[in-house]
A and B are shown apart, each in its own frame.
Chain A
Amino acid sequence: MNDWFLLRIPAVSQNESFARSVVALFALQAGDWSVTELNEIKTAVSEAITNSIIHAYDGNAASGEIVVQGKVTPGALEVTVTDFGQGIGDIALAREPLFTTKPHEERSGLGFTVMESFMDELTVSSVPLQGTTIRMVKYLRATTVQ
């Protein structure tokens, strides 16, 4: 069984679909997720990667990279999304529902809210001008732990 993966991709929007599909395929090996849970995982990953493309590299996404890592731990799936961009100045503010630095671009400000709601754990660490790592964990329901 493959219990981890590492994916390194250019920070371009074409890769959003690819990255969340990889995570979903990997997650399927970790256990018997429901369709709803798999969709929650895909959505949360999509939010993290979109944030990196839009905010971390802010217009220079093509030159940036995103690293996605997946790990299976007993009873859980752990996904981290790392970028090497400008970092988040105020993490607490960024995590507030509906907060966005780009309202004129029709950003809903729901990215972190989705990640928090659809996953069981969310950790955000960021260093200005060095990058951001989002760590997300989703627990397998007790009945489906393998």
Chain B
Amino acid sequence: MGFSTRYRGNILVVSLSGELDHHTADELRTALEKELDKDIARHMLLDLSQLAFMDSSGVGVLLGRYRRIHAQGGKMAAYALHPNLERLYELAALSRVIPVFAREELAVNELKKDEVPGR
């Protein structure tokens, strides 16, 4: 699995690639927690276009980050869901907490929708 992070204002954009399973989940969890500890990000946006495999261990990591983001008043979203993830995403009902958009801009608009200026 590979990942890269960048910021769009207070949105941490995380691009994932390869395979997210139990083995790679720990590495991602640690990296994202470290990034969130910087206290820059209010929201998190996942680019799932290159993530060709994910199992329930990956779901656990994403939900764990959602809980933290949500607790601090932020939102999570994803865009460009890889077709291989569609069934798992549906089974885990992930879109209830991490809605998926076709493109980055649409997701960013959603995340910023209720934003109060100032943070």
Contact = CB atoms under 8 A, between A and B. Distances in A.
Contact of A108 (B23, B63, B87): B63
Nearest to A115: B56
B62 to A, nearest CB: 9
B21 interface: yes
Contacts of A50: 21-22, 55-57
Closest 3 CB pairs of A and B: A13-B23, A110-B56, A108-B60
Interface residues of A, number: 26
Interface of B: 19, 21-23, 25, 29, 53-57, 59-61, 63-64, 83-84, 87-88, 91-92
Interface in A30-79: 35-36, 39-40, 42-43, 46-47, 50, 53-54
Given A47-B56, A106-B60, A118-B87, 6 more contacts: A43-B88, A50-B21, A50-B22, A54-B22, A106-B63, A108-B59
B56 A111 contact: yes
